[in-house]
Amino acid sequence: MTHYTRKRIFILILSYLLPNTLFADNESPWYVSTSANINLSVFSESEIIDTQTELSFFIDADYVEKFSLSAGLIYQEQKNLNNILNNILYAGGQYHIYPESMPGKVTLSIDTYHEGKNSAVKKTSNNIPGPGGGMPQTTSVTTERISNSLKIVNPVVSFMNYTKSLYADLGYAYSEYASSDTEIEKFNVKQWTPTLGFSFNDQYDWLIFRHYNIDLSNDSRSPGITKTSAYEIKLTHWVKNTDNSSLDNLQFSFLTGDRLFTVDHDARKVYNLSDMQTAALSIGGNWKYKNKSSFYIYTGLEEYKNIFSNNDYYNIFIYSGYKKNW
């Protein structure tokens, strides 16, 4: 599927959803929101990556707390040794169940990410040995266009009690990475993420614990490593007595452990860097305006390790977005 075909499909999905929702009256059971986000990352002390820019756009259509459909496009540009452009298509859905035997809501959701072929430029340095076969005399750089593909299926089952004091979910993500580069072996990643959360302080504070358990089918991208494990803790504080146009909530998160090729279903983010993430810290806030729109900004630090070269490096990121409820 070409890049333009994918764009056409995305526009078709939007045009199918919009007329039924945007112009619906107050009694319409459809609730639509759109969001546009930007994530800028600057990497320090990395031998292979300098910056990453990610732009994403999502549309979510919710049918009165029964089910919802989502679509999106994620554009990534990584400037590094091998410049990479990624255009990832996103589609997702949720279905809510209210079982008689349970004191809360069960939600079945599925997120899918797909990238047919990205545009990557691989630069290879070739040292041409000197006449004696020792010290190189000249160095040539060859540039080769390679293509990578990515497919992710991420189902999640979650439970939230009616009093909104307890939350639990179990997520699974199956990711398949392939490349036309013969040096890179095709591989897949299986990720399990059990999560537990609870509220306190009259539900003005939410604390969520998540465990990432990730299995790689082979170690072609991470020599000697086929299993990683990480723990994340996330605290959200809802601001009391906010007026109509003010800070709505603050969020703090901390991650420790090792994780590779992670899928974060809360942020709808795919960590497709081939380096191991060893820690992360972020803080941010969400401002709402008249329940019609919201603006959010998060900043943080992430630590990585390149397993091939044992190079430890970190990045500072700013993630910001605007969400509009139609």
Partner 1 sequence: MLKILYNPILLLSILFISSNAASANDAWMHSYTLETAGKYTAAAESIEEYLKQTPPNEFAELRSGWLYYLSGNYSRSITHYKTAIKINKKSIDAMLGMSLPLMAQARWREAALQTKNVIKISRFNYIAHTRLMTCEENLKQWVSLQKHAEEIKHYYPSEATILVYLARAYFHNSNNKKAKETYQQVLQRYPGHLEAINFLAK
Give the shortest CB-109-to-partner 1 separation in angstroms: 17
Query: Do 56 and 73 meet the contact criterion of CB atoms below 8 Å apart?
Result: yes
Query: Do 270 and 54 meet the contact criterion of CB atoms below 8 Å apart?
Result: no
Residue 28 or 188: which CB sits closer to partner 1?
28
What distance, in Å, lies between the first and last C-alpha atoms of the chain?
Answer: 32
Give the shortest CB-204-to-partner 1 separation in angstroms: 14
Give the shortest CB-26-to-partner 1 separation in angstroms: 7
Residue 100 or 183: which CB sits closer to partner 1?
100
φ and ψ at 34, to 5 degrees? -125, 150
Query: Do 124 and 141 meet the contact criterion of CB atoms below 8 Å apart?
Result: yes
Residue 5 or 163: which CB sits closer to partner 1?
163
Contacts of 226 (CB under 8 A, 6+ apart): 215, 216, 217, 218, 219
Binding site for partner 1 (CB under 8 A): 26-27, 29, 31, 62, 64-66, 98-100, 103, 105, 162, 164, 241-245, 288, 290-291
Give the shortest CB-285-to-partner 1 separation in angstroms: 17
Residue 101 or 310: which CB sits closer to partner 1?
101
Residue 288 or 305: which CB sits closer to partner 1?
288
Q: What span, in angstroms and rounded, lies between the C-alpha atoms of 254 and 251?
A: 10
Contacts of 27 (CB under 8 A, 6+ apart): none
Give the shortest CB-246-to-partner 1 separation in angstroms: 9
